[in-house]
Amino acid sequence: MTDVDPADYRAVAARLAAGVVVVTAVRHGVAHAATVSSVASVSLDPPMLLFCVHVDARLRDVLDGTDAWAVSVLADGQADVADWLASPGRPAVGQLDRVAHVAAPVSGAPWLDGAAAWFDCRTEAVHGAGDHDVVIGRVVAAHEGAPDAGGLVHLRGRLRGVR
C-alpha cells in the first residue's frame, strides 16, 4: 500500500463539491459556531445527520459539554457568514453578535437568519476518524427556508453560490 501525501490528498479532495453549513451549540450560556463543509444526511427513520469537526476545534470542545446542537444550511448569498465563522482568531464570546439568528426550538442553539434550511439535533454518537471526529445526531426539529433560497458549496478552495 502506498501512502498518499497529505498535500496531494487535500488538492484532490478539494474537487469534492460540499454543501456549507454552520453548526452551533450553546454551553454555559455562550453560543459557539463553526463553518462546516462535511455534513450529510444519514438516515430517514429515525432522521439523523452527521458532520465532521477537527479534534482541536473549539466547537469540538463545546460538544463535550452538551448533546444539543443546530445546523443552518447556508443559502447562496451567505458566503460572508461562512467566511466569518471559519476565520481563525474570531472571539469565542460574541462571535454571533454580527450574525442575525434565533434560538432553535429544542436545543436553543442559534439558527442563522436567511439560511436555506435548519436542523435541531441531539448527539447520538461520536466516532474518531483521524484528525477529525464524526458527530452523528438525531434530528429533533427541521425547517425549510425561503422556497427560492439557493445553496452554498465549497469547491476547490472557494465558496460558490448555487441555485
Q: What is the residue-averaged pLDDT of the chain?
A: 95
**pLDDT of the residue at 1:** 65
Task: Examine the pLDDT at 38 and tell me if it is beyond 80.
Answer: yes
pLDDT digits 0-9 by tens, 107-136: 999 999 999 999 999 999 999 999 999 999
Question: What percent of the chain is predicted at pLDDT more than 70?
Answer: 99
pLDDT tens digits for range 73-115: 999 999 999 999 999 888 989 999 999 999 999 999 999 999 9
Is 70 a residue whose pLDDT tops 90?
yes
Q: pLDDT at residue 2 above 80? A: no
Q: Residue 36 has what pLDDT?
A: 96
Q: Which of 20, 15, 17 is nearest to 80 (CA)?
A: 20
DSSP the chain: -PPPPHHHHHHHHTTS-EE-EEEEEEETTEEEEEEES-EEEEEETTEEEEEEEETT-HHHHHHTT-SEEEEEE--TT-HHHHHHTT-TT--SSSTTTTS-EEE-TTT-PEEETT-SEEEEEEEEEEEEETTEEEEEEEEEEEEE--TT--EEEEETTEEEEE-
| pTM score | 0.95
Q: Which CATH class is domain 20-145?
A: mainly beta
Q: What are the extents of the domains in the chain?
A: 20-145
Residues β-bridged to residue 20: none
Confidence of residue 150 (pLDDT cuts 50, 70, 90): very high
